[in-house]
């Protein structure tokens, strides 16, 4: 059957390549008895694809029923789908047939399959594999010849990882996948769909048919439509009823489109919202860590120079680079050396907790020699325990380890 004939029969408007591919798959799989999983965002028309498959199949003269799994309470969904015996639970005053029994020989469409409880998923898997099911409160096995079509707007593989959806059921349902594209990927169809909806509402409410100006069309096609076709239809109805003019201007249309000024901007999707930092939070964290390191360096320089800060200079870039590289996963870049004289008159934080005596070091020694001498003394005091020595020196254990390597102090 040609796609154009399918579109006319089922009222499908549009010629986007992604839409045509989905329709081609639906038409080809319809004559078979294979299970089909229809995926797509809310409002894209997944139920229409289930009706296409049923009506083009050999079961078209049998019953078709659509069940929203998310709308049925967890405690009653087993009874709704598979039926129950009298007295099976409180309120079960009589025997009841479930959907799989009443639709025997036909097609059942399970929408929002991701909302189905784990226990019900096990029952459904058995029915798909063997065609058998057991009513709630019964021990008798019954047979049912039902073709199952399922749909979801959530990421089922993600639910599988979270333990909320059975992997074996996923692969059993996903025999033939059909992906229905969102409206933002069908921009060429947006204006045509709007015109069709406007014509329908004009006939329904006995009002003149509205038309969009060129600027208004641009606004419409630039909007992302998170609610997809359902949202587009609602906007068309609002504009048809509430607008005063027949020709809709850009300004008039923006009254009915939420946040139309920013709707064309790309979406920023955070895949790991629990651990990721925003740019501002990351910047603040880096600043606080660098500030903390500067205080450590001031204390370290004070201890090395025995109180004479102005005669000593130290390269701040090592520790600053170390903290920056810890906050962002990038290779370390050398920063220019910072001159302590540019700090002004900093507040010196004395290490009053140091219990070992710092001996007077000859002023002719280089800064590196003084640093090496001080590290040796700290290590000797703490008997080689680097963690305690680093705390006493006021530097990080990582920096101490690097200095030990640099001065060849490993025993």
**Measured distance CA(133)–CA(23) in Å, rounded:** 32
**Measured distance CA(394)–CA(371) in Å, rounded:** 13
Domains of the chain with CATH codes: 3-181 (3.40.50.300), 184-254 (1.10.8.60), 279-406 (no CATH)
* Residue 386 near residue 379 (C-beta atoms within 8 A): yes
For every residue of 43-64, DSSP letters joined together read TS-HHHHHHHHHHTSTTTTS-E
Cα-based distances in Å from 214 to 150, 189, 220, 258: 40, 15, 10, 19
* Residue 328 near residue 405 (C-beta atoms within 8 A): no
Output the tens digit of pLDDT for each of the chain's 411 residues.
Answer: 689 999 999 999 999 999 999 999 999 999 999 999 999 999 999 999 999 999 999 999 999 999 999 999 988 999 999 999 998 888 888 999 999 999 999 999 999 999 999 999 999 999 999 999 999 999 999 999 999 999 999 999 999 999 999 999 999 999 999 999 999 999 999 999 999 999 999 999 999 999 999 999 999 999 999 999 999 999 999 999 999 889 999 999 999 997 654 444 444 444 444 333 445 555 655 666 676 667 666 666 666 665 544 444 445 455 445 555 554 444 444 444 444 444 444 444 444 444 444 444 444 456 677 788 888 888 888 888 888 888 888 788 878 888 888 888 875
Global pTM reads: 0.63
Q: Give the distance between the most distant pair of CA atoms in the chain.
A: 102
């Amino acid at each position: 059957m040609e796609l154009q004939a399918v579109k006319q029969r089922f009222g499908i408007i549009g010629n986007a390549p992604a839409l045509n591919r989905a329709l081609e798959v639906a038409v080809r799989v319809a004559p078979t008895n294979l299970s089909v999983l229809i995926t797509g965002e809310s409002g894209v028309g997944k139920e229409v694809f289930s009706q296409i498959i049923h009506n083009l199949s050999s079961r078209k003269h049998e019953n078709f029923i659509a069940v929203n799994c998310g709308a049925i309470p967890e405690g009653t969904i087993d009874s709704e789908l598979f039926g129950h015996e009298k007295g099976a639970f409180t309120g079960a005053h009589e025997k009841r047939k479930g959907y799989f029994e009443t639709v025997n020989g036909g097609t059942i469409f399970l929408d929002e399959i991701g909302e189905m409880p784990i226990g019900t998923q096990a029952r459904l898997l058995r029915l798909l594999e063997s065609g058998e099911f057991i009513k709630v409160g019964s021990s008798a096995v019954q047979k049912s010849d039902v073709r199952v079509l399922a749909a979801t707007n959530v990421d089922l593989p993600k639910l599988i990882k979270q333990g909320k959806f059975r992997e074996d059921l996923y692969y059993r349902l996903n025999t033939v996948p059909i992906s229905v594209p969102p409206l933002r990927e069908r921009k060429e169809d947006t204006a045509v769909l709007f015109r069709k909806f406007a014509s329908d509402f004009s006939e329904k409410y006995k009002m003149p048919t509205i038309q969009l100006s060129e600027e208004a069309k641009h606004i419409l096609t630039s909007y992302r439509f998170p609610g997809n076709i359902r949202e587009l239809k609602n906007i068309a109805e609002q504009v048809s009823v509430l607008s005063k003019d027949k020709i809709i201007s850009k300004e008039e249309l923006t009254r009915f489109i939420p946040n139309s000024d920013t709707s064309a901007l790309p979406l920023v999707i955070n895949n790991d919202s629990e651990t990721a930092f925003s740019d501002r939070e990351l910047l603040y964290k880096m600043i606080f860590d660098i500030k903390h390191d500067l205080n450590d360096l001031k204390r370290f320089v004070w201890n090395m120079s025995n109180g004479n800060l102005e005669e000593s200079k130290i390269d701040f870039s090592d520790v600053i680079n170390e903290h920056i590289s810890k906050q962002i996963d990038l290779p370390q870049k050398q920063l220019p050396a910072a001159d302590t004289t540019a700090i002004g008159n900093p507040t010196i934080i004395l290490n009053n907790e140091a219990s070992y005596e710092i001996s007077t070091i000859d002023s002719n020694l280089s800064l590196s020699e003084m640093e090496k001498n001080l590290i040796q003394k700290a290590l000797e005091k703490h008997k080689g325990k680097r963690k305690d020595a680093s705390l006493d020196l006021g530097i990080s254990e990582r920096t101490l380890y690097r200095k030990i390597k640099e001065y060849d102090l490993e025993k």
